[in-house]
């Protein structure tokens, strides 16, 4: 009964590099959500995906950020040309198909540090 | 835009005391969830409330959803050091799969 898995747990990048964050949802879950958390703050929604589809990307910055959830493999959050302001904890959550009450289960997060 | 405000932002109390954390909004939510997050970890789901006026208990924790489904409270009886953490409320506007709107968080510290 593996939960939501994220890797890497910690990622250090220099300004201008690319960051790739991976998320494997819970077994049987087909909906994936990405959130960002700054220190001492709540979580901010970024993007919601189903297999091969982006359902809601209203929280994604317009530039440098992209997300995918391919038919096979984990969901990927990609940040190009990282800047110091991208330093944060990025969390992935998943939920099953047809949930009534939108209960989401979170992974342990990836802590991104941009030098 | 739906916003969830939590109060207090920080709370530090002695072991054995009772406390209440509030989660308020001007918007109606179809469901509201409470999570606890420990340092370096992801949020862990504690409870989901969906009916106005609903009360749910989880051992020493009591959760209530407001009648109008705009606010919620979390009451902890006889707090213990293991209750220390960041408590987050999160709401969904519609039923089914969608993004969650998170509250601003309450950082709780229980002093032994």
Q: Which chain A residues are Cβ-neighbours of B50 within 8 angstroms?
A: 101
> Nearest Cα to A110, choosing from A38, A32, A7, A15?
A7
Q: Which chain A residues are Cβ-neighbours of B56 within 8 angstroms?
A: none
Three-class SS state of B57: strand
Give residue A97's pLDDT band: very low, low, confident or very high (50, 70, 90): confident
Beta strands in chain A (DSSP E): 5-7, 10-13, 19-24, 29-37, 43-50, 53-56, 65-68, 75-79, 88-96, 105-106, 110-114
pLDDT at B55 over 80: yes
Q: Residue A82 has which token pair?
A: 């990282």
State pLDDT tens for residues A27-83.
989 999 999 998 777 899 999 999 889 999 999 999 999 999 998 999 999 999 999
Give residue B1's pLDDT band: very low, low, confident or very high (50, 70, 90): low
- Given a contact cutoff of 8 angstroms between Cβ atoms, the answer to whether B7 and B104 are in contact is no
> Nearest Cα to A22, choosing from A5, A38, A37, A35?
A5
Alpha-carbon distance A88 to B100, whole Å?
19
Q: What is the pLDDT of residue A70?
A: 92
Q: In angstroms, what separates the C-alpha of A16 from chain B's closest C-alpha?
A: 26
- CB atoms inside a 10 Å sphere around CB B5: 14
CB contact under 8 A, A41 and B99: no
Q: Determine the straight-line distance between the first and last CA of chain B, rounded to whole angstroms.
A: 40
Alpha-carbon distance B85 to B83, whole Å?
6
Q: What is the pLDDT of residue B93?
A: 82
* Across B29-58, average pLDDT: 94
Comparing CB atoms, the residue among B97, B103, B107 nearest residue A95 is B97
β-strand partners of A11: A112
* Across B15-25, average pLDDT: 96
Helix count and strand count (H, E) for chain B: 0, 11
């Amino acid at each position: 009964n593996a939960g939501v898995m994220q890797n890497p747990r910690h990622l250090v990048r220099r300004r201008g590099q690319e960051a790739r964050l991976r998320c494997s949802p819970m077994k049987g879950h087909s909906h994936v959500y990405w959130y960002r958390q700054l220190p001492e703050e709540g979580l901010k929604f970024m993007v919601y995906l189903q297999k091969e589809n982006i359902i809601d990307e209203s929280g994604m910055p317009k530039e440098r950020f992209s997300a995918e959830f391919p038919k096979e493999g984990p969901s990927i959050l990609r940040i190009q040309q990282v800047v110091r302001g991208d330093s944060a904890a990025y969390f992935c959550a998943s939920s099953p198909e047809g949930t009534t009450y939108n209960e989401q289960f979170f992974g342990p997060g990836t802590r991104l540090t941009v030098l | 835009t739906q916003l969830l405000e939590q109060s207090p932002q920080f709370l530090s109390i002695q072991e054995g005391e009772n406390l209440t954390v509030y989660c308020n909004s001007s918007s109606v939510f179809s469901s509201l969830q409470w999570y606890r997050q420990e340092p370096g970890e992801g949020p862990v789901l504690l409870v989901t409330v969906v009916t106005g006026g609903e009360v749910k208990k989880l051992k020493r924790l009591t959760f209530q959803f407001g009648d109008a489904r705009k606010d919620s409270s979390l009451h902890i009886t006889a707090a213990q050091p293991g209750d220390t953490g960041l408590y987050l409320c999160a709401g969904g506007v519609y039923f089914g799969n969608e993004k969650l709107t998170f509250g601003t968080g309450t950082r709780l510290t229980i002093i032994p």
